Amino acid sequence: MPSKQHYLSSSAEGGPNVHCLYDVATGSWQYICADSATGKCAIIDPVLDFDPASARTSTTNADMLLKIVADKGYEVQWILDTHPHADHLSAGHCLATRTGAPHAIGQKVADIARLWRDYYNLSDAFPVEQDFGKLLKDGDSIMIGDLQVNVLLSAGHTLGSITYVAGDAAFVHDTLMHVDVGTARADFPGGSAGALWDSIQTILALPDHTRLFVGHDYGTDTRDEAACEATVSEHRASNPHVGEGKSRDEFVKLREDRDATLGLPDRMLYALQVNLRGGRLPPEEADGHAYFKIPANRF
């Protein structure tokens, strides 16, 4: 995995300005998508720092995102998550509280919540309609200033993942990895390699020049720097999992065989009970402290 914090900016004529912040600890990319005409922006997939050894949270990433916003003179209009992440805790609630912007996610997060209520044996947990400011469905659109952002359901990694398409920029989260790596895993509860293939085909049907921004990168044997952006045409030509000539059946076998070798992310069982609460810790108990509930021998 790349060993240093990484910050990139991307712009294209007529498209949004995209600021990309890499979280070393989880290999996660976080984004600020800004309408250059109005200075309004959205923060996408922000990370709440978390130390699994001590179960302690901190806000280094959130603070850095807000510093970029301030330095650029932007106004935060939305906090957007693409799905309830398994590998990091969401800073969505933290940033929504600090900016006053609504926190949105896909409406099928309600179906994901039902799965995880069973895993945690918490029948009344995760009231998603209460904990998120807006639930978005396939075909919805929102505005960042004068920039229209269209919502695509992109199931596969989870059953409720969504993609945000903002002009010539698409935030495709855990569907595609960087163009020299392949695709994301599809073996979490509710995931499906077949559904992931179908979602990726919808993404790759966007115009050739569309900039695709991925959710994660861990480097490669020949590339130490974290990377996050490639175009639709580059993925169609060169992505080793879904590039030119790959069939659906070939992809499903490749993805399922690969996923069978992967362990769980070390933050997963903490992360889901935070992210399904919109980035909130579990409710404080009588002593004023919050406690995680970790299922034993379920995975």
Confidence band (pLDDT; 50, 70, 90) for 12? confident
Checking if the pLDDT of 268 tops 80, the result is yes
Give the angle 95-101-105 at the CA atoms, nearest 5°: 80
pTM over the 0.85 mark: yes
User: CA 263 to CA 256: how far, in whole Å?
Assistant: 13
What confidence tier does 16 reach under pLDDT thresholds 50, 70, 90? very high
**What does the pLDDT look like over 177-213, one tens digit per residue?**
999 999 999 999 999 999 999 999 999 999 999 999 9
pLDDT tens, position by position, 26-76 = 999 999 999 999 999 999 999 999 999 999 999 999 999 999 999 999 999
Q: Does residue 22 register a pLDDT over 90?
A: yes
CATH class of 6-265: alpha beta
With tokens 């075909």, the residue in question is 139
**Domain map (residue ranges) of the chain:** 6-265
Using the structure block, give the residue that is written with the tokens 């580059």: 234
What six digits make up the tokens of 57?
Answer: 């949270």
Write the secondary structure of the chain as one string of H (helix), E (strand) and C (coil). Answer: CCCCCEEEEECCCCCCEEEEEEECCCCEEEEEEECCCCCEEEEECCEEEEECCCCEEECHHHHHHHHHHHHHCCEEEEEECCCCCCCCEECHHHHHHHHCCCEEEECCHHHHHHHHHHHHCCCCCCCHHHHCCEEECCCCEEEECCEEEEEEECCCCCCCCEEEEECCEEEEECCECCCCCCECCCCCCCCCHHHHHHHHHHHHCCCCCCEEEECECCCCCCCCCCCCEEEHHHHHHHCCCCCCCCCHHHHHHHHHHHHCCCCCCCCHHHHHHHHCCCCCCCCECCCCCECCCCCCCCC
pLDDT of residue 220: 92
Q: What is the pLDDT of residue 3?
A: 61
Residues recorded for the chain: 299
pLDDT for 4 equals 62
Per cent of the chain over pLDDT 90 is 93
Could you give the count of Cα atoms lying within 13 Å of 295 in the half-sphere of its Cβ? 15
d(CA 212, CA 177): 10
pLDDT of residue 245: 84
User: What is the predicted pLDDT for the residue at 67?
Assistant: 98
pLDDT exceeds 80 at position 5 = no
Q: Give CA–CA dist 68/204, Å, rounded.
A: 30
Q: How far apart are CA 136 and CA 155, in angstroms?
A: 14
pLDDT for the residue numbered 80: 98
Q: What mean pLDDT, rounded, does the chain reach?
A: 96
C-alpha 101/C-alpha 43 separation (Å) is 10
Residue with tokens 């996408």: 44
* More confident: 237 or 13: 237
